[in-house]
Amino acid sequence: MKVPLKWLKEYIDVTLPPAELADRLTMAGIEAKGMQAIGGRWANVVVGRITAVNPHPNADRLHLPTVDVGTEQLTVVCGAPNLSVGDKIAFAFVGAELIDGHTGQRARLKTARIRGVASSGMVCSEKELGISDSHEGIMVLPPEAPVGTPLADYLGDTIFDLDVTPNRPDCLSVIGIAREVAALTGQSLRFPEVSYAETEPGIDRQISVEIADPDLCPRYCATLITGTRIAESPPWLQQRLLAGGLRPINNIVDVTNYVMLELGQPLHAFDYEKINGKKIIVRRATGGEILTSLDGVERTLSGNMLVIADAERAVAIAGVMGGANSEVTGETTSILLEAANFNPASIHYTGRHLALPSEACMRFERGIRPELTVPAIKRATRLMLKVGGGQAARGVADVYPGRQDHRPIRLQTDKVKRFLGAEFRPDQIAGTLSALGFDCKPAAPATEFMVTAPYWRNDISQAVDLIEEVARIIGYDKIPTTMLSQSLPPQNPDPVIGLKRKIRDRLVGYGFQEVITYSLTGLEMLNKLKPRTRVVEPMPIRLFNPMTAEQEYLRPNLRPNLLTALAANRRHEDGGIRLFELDKIYLRRRKDLPEEPEVLCGLMSGARNEPSWQGDGGGLDFFDVKGVVEGLLGQLSVEAGFAPGDDESLHPVKQAVIVVGGRRLGVIGELHPEVAGAFDITGTAYLFEIDVAALLPFTIEHKMFQPIPRFPDTVRDIALIVDAGVSHQQITDIIRGFPLVHRVAIFDVYSGGQVPPGKKSLAYRVTYQSPAHTLTDEEVNKVQQKILGRLARQLGATLRA
Amino acid sequence: MVTELSCCLTPLVVITYNPRQLKLKTTMLKQLQELKLKALQELESIRDFKQLESWRIQYLGKKSSLTTMLRRLASLPLAERKTAGARANQVKADLEDSLRQKEQALREVQLATHVKAETIDITLPGRPAPTGRLHPITQTLNEICDIFAAMGFQVVEGPDVEWDYYNFEALNIPEEHPARDTMSTCWVETDSGERPMLLRTHTTSVSARTIERTTPPIRVVAPGKVYRYEASDATHVPMFHQVDGQVVDKGITMADLKGTLYEFARRFFGEERPVRFRCDYFPFVEPGVEMAIGCLVCDGQGCRLCGHSGWIEILGAGMTHPRVLQLGGIDPEIYSGFAFGIGIERLPMLRYGIDDIRLFYGSDLRFLRQF
Ligand SMILES: [Zn+2]
């Protein structure tokens, strides 16, 4: 909302400097987003009157106007085509700071000789004064402009750009802002004049108004002006509209807009001659009803939109836009003026569905009061008579089925203290509310008031609303600052939140960079994960109003965004890349919100170590990703096993499922080459994925202390030859099954060379230990013999020579 | 004290005085003096431990002339023996001292040579230890949650996909409320007849759930992702993060709101940063509050970042609207509360001078590694 200071001053004496006023309004809830000073740099520019225009002796296109500046008559050289004797203009003396019409640069005006004639001063264009880009001719001022007055006094202004919150539609008007200023500064308000001469016959005999759907139209008022003349508005009116951000159209339409800006009530003017049956009916549109709106667009209306109709047809979309069939044109002589109140939700719905946002629409949908219609329609009628002439019919047609007067609210002053934590005196509270126009009646007991909101306020329904008024006008800075003194509520932290933090911290320690990607993804991306089937199953959850195809679905896994991130980074990173994301995925549930499991997904690709002058440790492989997962789960005290997997996005044999407590809680593996290719990933990548929330029960394991061994251990190495198909796990499962075996570690895997084809050699270091005594060689030998015996029987293992 | 000669020497035999041996004594003193000079001279030129050992054997060993001389002291009369003995022991002590010094000097030289051979280029980079980093948004969320946890707030989370009810209705934003327009919503496709589902536009939805399911006292913060139907540019992204806070108890006042948020600002932005509370409007609070801090760039003078106001809006807050408490089954006549919502992305943007919000979600390591 743009509010010119000069306009504001019509209703209130403003004594504060503009910057301070802006600050006070901001603190009280109406943020001044900007402040534009017009004419702040118009020193040495005054209002002048052209008294003569003579031709330049040496140039056809130049003239020599003589200008009366009040104290003297000055003749200058001017090239403008629109010089005419008697016009009021802006005259710049030497020394004025003007914008050069051609270069756009600001420069100080000097005395010059132009084609042999001296020129001390200048008649200005709008561009030269910084008002607009117009430089075709000089700016002509209204005839009433006082000669000799500094232009800054006559035309200068400060325009506040105010951000009015949705709860204060009453402040979408200059008078509303003036009321705020009045309360903030203690000045009193001057309401604009609304009276006018009324003529017979009365309005009721010339139009009948019927509200068929009072739920959507609480009030409808109309006045009638006959014998009016449609013309361009006077300059003062045009200037006000332009300052308020509206385009002048003609005197009648301009007045409706002017009063909307002034008082906050949207109005609409019909050509009275075009109203059939001299009847106004406010009703819901019939489904499929068609109306061509003022902008020439044919609108198809639905049954829950409200229209203004005459005896035969709709003539306007209520509160949103008028119809072309009843438009005021240059030939119009009789005006039927409407000031009505409409249901905010209905206007919001209609405006949104017809995509017709407007200043009027915005005011209605925020909920203005029906009491506003009468003062606004009277004010507008008065102004129309002033700018267009004619006669106004006696009275206001007023149908008001939705009357809802403000009920008094009981305000206990000790409640103000309980709520704000600040003590305000009862007279301070009553004084503040009264300054805002509230009616404050003392009640019993003396610390209470019965408070009634003024007619223009629509946002006051309970005591807290009054408390806010008191707080914001007195100032939030007057409220003290205290720390919470209540006893601490019991704490029951969600263990998943803690687990997520632990996992993130650990992975960062492993050299992984956390990324956060959009929760939304595209079907095409998801399909790339399925080299075989090319079908995402089950279908992910779709947005009703997706912005782009890349952000159309809620991600059912973290993979596509992470793989995209890897591919993008690979373009500028040649070392190892380790990325992870730990966040929600979204899985469809019937007739309920989706399931949102927290999932960890990690990717590693490239060199094992960062490239260094000591080498990069070679390329990562399956066992790097397995090591990360083993390390992470070990840290979380989760015992996990690994079994062959069948994830379509992973390499058919270089993958495993992570099995915890018999449940498959994740996968690890090398990316399927086709998936890597589909995501433009150079080289290969290793992925791990763990269902974090499902992991939780396994992390809360009850640990028991293990005593530190008191007796020395005995270490034996065994090198075995087994069939290539025998797994490490099978061997260690057997060895671990024997007593006294404390630890088994593999330290070599080898095939080829002296190992026969189809076989492989595995070397283990077995640590024997007894909690009770120092082991003898014989004891260890006996166990080892048994181990070798069982390995031979069950796995065909032989000792390597 | 002859008898106190060090143990490496043969103990002296105590003998009686004999005037004929006077000459012997004079000669001996002279010899001792010469011996000492010679020994020290030689010691001077020694360059390694091998030479030093030969020197030791020669001058201090069991077969050295000094030892021999000391043995010969026995033949002197008692009085002579005393002075000559003292002298001889002095020479021996001096030589031993010099030996130790030489030894030390040689050791130092040797160490220096050794160490010099081990010289490395300390400017070469270290063997890289694995370094990953938390995303700057995670870091900021952790920092904020920790600040509020220290004030007794518990961290709670809620669903991203939410019913219209918890995102709007329960927060005093009914259908067709103008506030809905300021939060362009991403709607989720549902089967016909199902309740409307959306991507939450603020984590205040979690507060609504907490109010509904908890009997006061309530003191929670809800961090999480929020979504808006908005095209991306340098200052807008369709997904961002928020921390919403909610306090409900008996006797909660707006002074408590100010105190709690001041404390947050003090810890997050530092002691010196000015803080301002002004009136603002949010449908789920009354009175509504906006908290701003003094601009970090211009320190209140006005610049492009702060829109020439000198202040930067950090969060919205207010006293929980009685209607919101009522909808959640809490009696507003008994309880009061306050709520606040902090937009997260803005904070690291201000702190690090990041000028494009999209960088957070571009996953570019060149960006993420900086934090
Ligand atoms: Zn600034």
B176 and B105: one domain?
A: no
CA of B312 to the centre of ligand 1 (A): 8
In degrees rounded to 5, what are phi and psi of residue A580? -150, 155
Residue of A476, A492, A609 with shortest CB distance to B289: A476
Low-confidence residues in chain A, pLDDT < 50: none
Q: Do A545 and B156 touch (CB under 8 A)?
A: no
Q: Do B256 and A467 touch (CB under 8 A)?
A: no
Chain A neighbors of B254, CB-CB under 8 A: 419-422, 471, 476, 479
Residue of A472, A491, A578 with shortest CB distance to B154: A491
Q: What is the pLDDT of residue A574?
A: 86
B234 and B169: one domain?
A: yes
Q: Is residue A190 part of a domain?
A: no
Q: Is residue B125 part of a domain?
A: no
Q: Is residue A772 part of a domain?
A: yes
A607 and A541: one domain?
A: yes
A393 and A420: one domain?
A: no
CATH number of the structural domain spanning residue B214? 3.30.930.10
CATH number of the structural domain spanning residue A733? 3.30.70.380
Residue of B160, B251, B255 with shortest CB distance to A481: B255
Tally of domains in chain A: 6
A70 and A137: one domain?
A: yes
Residues across chain B: 371
CATH number of the structural domain spanning residue A470? 3.30.56.10
A594 and A643: one domain?
A: yes
A218 and A288: one domain?
A: yes
Q: Identity (one letter) of the amino acid at B157?
A: E
End of a domain among A637, A666, A699?
A699
pLDDT tens by residue, B75-107: 777 777 788 888 888 888 999 999 999 999 999
What's the ipTM?
0.87
Q: What is the pLDDT of residue B21?
A: 57
The rounded average pLDDT for each run of 10 residues, N- to C-terminus, in chain B (371 residues) is 40 48 71 87 90 90 83 77 83 91 92 89 87 96 97 97 95 84 86 86 96 96 96 92 98 97 96 95 96 90 87 96 96 96 95 94 96 94
Residue of A365, A483, A543 with shortest CB distance to B178: A365
Q: Is residue A299 part of a domain?
A: yes
CA of B273 to the centre of ligand 1 (A): 13
Tally of domains in chain B: 2
Q: Is residue B131 part of a domain?
A: no
Chain center to CA of A154: 40
B249 and B299: one domain?
A: yes
End of a domain among B80, B114, B148?
B114
Q: Is residue B127 part of a domain?
A: no
End of a domain among A340, A365, A399?
A399
B27 and B109: one domain?
A: yes
A75 and A12: one domain?
A: no
Q: Is residue A622 part of a domain?
A: yes
Model-level pTM? 0.85
End of a domain among A419, A445, A478?
A478
B163 and B224: one domain?
A: yes
Q: Is residue B3 part of a domain?
A: no
- What is the rounded distance in angstroms from the CA atom of residue A10 to the CA atom of residue A609? 75
Range of the domain at B84: 20-114
B201 and B109: one domain?
A: no
- What is the rounded distance in angstroms from the CA atom of residue A738 to the CA atom of residue A780? 11
A236 and A113: one domain?
A: no
pLDDT tens by residue, A148-193: 999 888 888 899 999 999 999 999 999 999 999 999 999 999 999 9
Chain B neighbors of A482, CB-CB under 8 A: 253, 255-256, 258-259
Range of the domain at A451: 409-478
Q: What is the pLDDT of residue A43?
A: 86
Q: Do A26 and B278 touch (CB under 8 A)?
A: yes
A66 and A106: one domain?
A: yes
A626 and A505: one domain?
A: yes
Chain B neighbors of A28, CB-CB under 8 A: 278-279
- What is the rounded distance in angstroms from the CA atom of residue A429 to the CA atom of residue A466? 9
B180 and B329: one domain?
A: yes
Long-range contacts of A404-407 (CB under 8 A, 24+ apart): A404/A218, A404/A370, A406/A452, A406/A453, A406/A454, A406/A455, A406/A457, A406/A460, A407/A452
A508 and A625: one domain?
A: yes
Q: What is the pLDDT of residue B340?
A: 98
Strands (E), A262-319: 268-271, 279-284, 290-292, 298-300, 306-309, 314-317
Q: Is residue B13 part of a domain?
A: no
Q: What is the pLDDT of residue A409?
A: 96
- What is the rounded distance in angstroms from the CA atom of residue A309 to the CA atom of residue A303? 14
Q: Is the peptide bond before B196 cis (omega within 30 degrees of 0)?
A: no
End of a domain among B82, B114, B146?
B114
Q: Do B188 and A541 touch (CB under 8 A)?
A: yes
Q: Is residue B6 part of a domain?
A: no
Nearest CA in chain A to B322: A464
Q: Is residue A173 part of a domain?
A: yes
Long-range contacts of A204-207 (CB under 8 A, 24+ apart): A204/A395, A204/A397, A206/A278, A206/A393, A207/A272, A207/A275, A207/A278, A207/A279, A207/A280, A207/A336, A207/A397
A70 and A27: one domain?
A: no
CA of B294 to the centre of ligand 1 (A): 8
B164 and B214: one domain?
A: yes
Q: What is the pLDDT of residue B6?
A: 41
CATH number of the structural domain spanning residue A358? 3.50.40.10
Residue of B187, B253, B364 with shortest CB distance to A545: B187
**Among candidate residues A175, A160, A177, A158, the one with its CA nearest the CA of residue A29:** A177
Q: Do B254 and A419 touch (CB under 8 A)?
A: yes
Chain A neighbors of B163, CB-CB under 8 A: 593
B155 and B99: one domain?
A: no
Q: Is residue B126 part of a domain?
A: no
B109 and B227: one domain?
A: no
B89 and B143: one domain?
A: no
B104 and B245: one domain?
A: no
Q: Do A476 and B278 touch (CB under 8 A)?
A: yes
Task: Among B120, B172, B189, B246, pick the best mutation site for testing chain A contact (most A Cβ within 10 A).
Answer: B189
Q: Do A544 and B217 touch (CB under 8 A)?
A: no
- DSSP letter (8 states) at residue A616: -
End of a domain among B114, B149, B169?
B114
Q: Is residue A607 part of a domain?
A: yes
A180 and A316: one domain?
A: no
Q: Is residue B332 part of a domain?
A: yes
Whether B106 and B49 have beta carbons less than 8 Å apart is answered as yes
CA of A19 to the centre of ligand 1 (A): 16
